[in-house]
Amino acid sequence: MDFTKIRVRLAKHITVAAAAAARCWNPQATSNFCIAAVFAFAAVALAVPAASERSERTRDWGRYQVALGHTRAVTLADGLTVYLNTNTDINVRNLPEETIVAIASGEVLFEGIGNRRITVLANGSTVHSTGAARFSIRVRDADRIDALVALGSAYLDRTGHRLPGWLLAALPFVPEGTPLAAGEAASEDSQGLYARKAISAIAVTHKLAWKDGWLWFGNEPLAEAVERFNAYNTRQIVLDDLRLYHLDVGGRFHPTQPECFVASLQYVFGVCVVHSGESNTIHLRAGCAPTLRRCDTAMVQ
């Protein structure tokens, strides 16, 4: 059986089936047309080739991981370099006209000039980019991702994980979704794109400083800074006081030194710090007198 021909035939009809099914994601849509469309889409999208073909596709994927508290750089076959942030797990497949990167967890920075388009699958979202690029994708809780474009452009949509990889490879490439230009950031979840905003070159430098071994904050909410530190360490920082959640903090820190970070909070804001040996946590609350210790690194442009 010629599975290549089958894939091409399916690819010709999948767009129509998917569009029809997409109209029926609304739970209130109960028409016979919707029911038929959903079953038609499912039948096409879930079509699976023979076991020999499936095992061949599995061998095409390469897996790259980085441990908690570390970062790693990997050069892909298309010439792009991907930087893996702490506790990141990705799978990569190289096709003649496309490189597919599936992010299971963590954060990835794509940098360089590739010789083919790149497709990133993460938390149900799909990100496409071509040519010279520098952009990052961060997988968050539930089905959310954060995207940041520093150079070039990227297209975000929500078709990821709904179609098998072999079918995505058979479909003709047409840039779809919402384009993000250089200097833009946005988040996306099952409800769509939100929090889209332009960010300055300095802010881009701050957000991507992890590639060089730093956490660099420029008036970021303390809750966001704490989340960043906790991603690098087994010893977790806990905010016990709601008054601290929206406190804006700044400075450049080593990500595996949370003690220095909380010492700076004591010095600048008078944050109370309680170390718990049993649970290996650091608890923070407002209302204490400032101390005289500070061990962050001065912000240097």
Domain layout of the chain by residue ranges: 1-47, 51-198, 214-285
Phi, psi angles (nearest 5°) of residue 82: -110, 135
Could you list the pLDDT tens digit for every one of the 301 residues in the chain? 544 444 444 544 444 444 444 444 444 444 554 444 444 444 444 444 444 333 344 458 999 999 999 999 999 999 999 999 999 999 999 999 999 999 999 999 999 988 899 999 999 999 999 989 999 999 998 789 999 999 999 999 986 444 555 555 555 555 568 999 999 999 999 889 999 999 999 999 999 999 999 999 999 999 999 999 999 999 999 999 999 998 999 999 999 999 999 999 999 999 999 998 788 999 999 987 665 444 554 444 3
Tell me which of 3.30.70.20, 1.10.287.130, 3.55.50.30, 3.40.50.300 is the CATH number of domain 214-285.
3.55.50.30
Per-residue pLDDT at 158: 84
CA 64 to chain centre: 15
pLDDT in tens, 152-167: 999 999 864 445 555 5
Phi, psi angles (nearest 5°) of residue 208: -100, 10
Phi, psi angles (nearest 5°) of residue 202: -65, -40
pTM of the shown model? 0.75
One fold for 51-198 and 214-285: no
Cα–Cα–Cα angle for 100, 104, 107, nearest 5°?
90
Amino acid at 180: L
Per-residue pLDDT at 153: 95
Amino acid at 31: S
Q: Check if the beta carbon of residue 125 is closer than 8 Å to that of residue 160.
A: yes
CA-CA distance, 289 to 63, in Å (whole number)?
49
Per-residue pLDDT at 279: 84
Q: Check if the beta carbon of residue 110 is closer than 8 Å to that of residue 80.
A: yes
Q: Which tokens belong to 29? A: 């849509």
Per-residue pLDDT at 129: 94
CATH number of 51-198: 2.60.120.1440
